[in-house]
Amino acid sequence: MLECAARLGSFTRAAAELNVTESAISRQIQALEARLGVRFFERVRQRVVLTADGDRYVREIREELKAIERATKDLASRAGGMDVIELAVVPTFATQWLIPRLASFRAEHPRIVVNIHARPEPFHFAESLFDAAIYFGDRPWEGHPHARLLDEGPSIPVCSPLLLEQARLRERDDLLRLPLLHLASRPDAWPDWFSADDEDVRRKARLGARYDLFTMVTGAAICGLGVAVLPAMMVHSEMESGQLVALPFQAARKAEDGGAYFVSYREGKPGDDKAQLFADWLLRQCGANQR
């Protein structure tokens, strides 16, 4: 009740969300305040606002409450006869490659639910609740079953068809006249595409808007805000639909071999092979994708 009232800033709205009376919310919070000897809320006009102690306490318990909620939902799924895979995955791979194909896994394994969590950073399975992880790197994580899924492959410059038509580009360096779109996690993508040596070109190639997420960069390119240099495998559907077009220019120098996407997973107990089934399905999808 405390977290709900804090999140909504209202006992009335918290009561509606929790399907209890407003007086029940108020009594519970007053009892907690009396037991702990602190004041959680102050009334400001028509809202309730957390005190400093209340704000700190709610922030500290919020993640724990979310973990309890996830565990409860997981238990409910299992009680309904479903197996659950908690999958950590880099966001770009999830949105651009994995999710469009997940219906195939559900069709093969209708009793397995895949919960997807965006997790770009490495972690230790022993310190997490994840059953499997899909991640990008130059080598797999050791100590767990793993497989190499897909090489990322080359990055290519893409933009909207209208921008390409209006730009009237004749050669590669004409791209420097256009707004360049950058993914914040890959600040050297454009400088590396243009030139490995020319510092003046590299300086110009660093100019332009930066976006935190791959989907933001892709959306900006589709809307005609500029040109993005992105892995071809990740914009295949956008090019196929005609939202983006590849520009007819090659990188100044062939890129060195980049990283790849891997899957690692926990070894299940005897009779629990859900993560293995998922990894096998991923490998079949990757094989079909490469043919």
Tokens standing for residue 281: 């399905």
CB 179 within 8 A of CB 225: yes
Distance CA 160, CA 238 (A): 10
Q: Which amino acid is at 16?
A: A
Q: Do 165 and 132 share a structural domain?
A: no
What is the separation, in whole angstroms, between the first and last Cα of the chain? 54
267 within some domain = yes
Q: Which of 233, 242, 235 is nearest to 218 (CA)?
A: 235
110 within some domain = yes
Please tell me the total count of domains within the chain: 3
CATH number at residue 281: 3.40.190.10
6 within some domain = yes
Its domain, for residue 201, covers 155-246
Distance CA 90, CA 109 (A): 23
122 within some domain = yes
42 within some domain = yes
- pLDDT tens for the chain, 291 residues long, are 788 888 888 888 888 888 888 888 888 888 888 888 888 888 777 678 888 888 888 888 877 777 777 666 666 655 566 788 999 999 889 998 999 999 999 999 999 999 999 887 877 777 778 899 999 988 888 888 999 999 988 889 999 999 999 988 888 889 999 999 999 988 999 998 988 678 888 999 999 999 998 999 999 999 999 999 999 989 988 999 999 999 988 887 666 556 899 999 988 666 678 999 999 999 999 885 543
252 within some domain = no
**If DSSP codes are grouped into helix, strand and coil, which group holds residue 179?**
coil
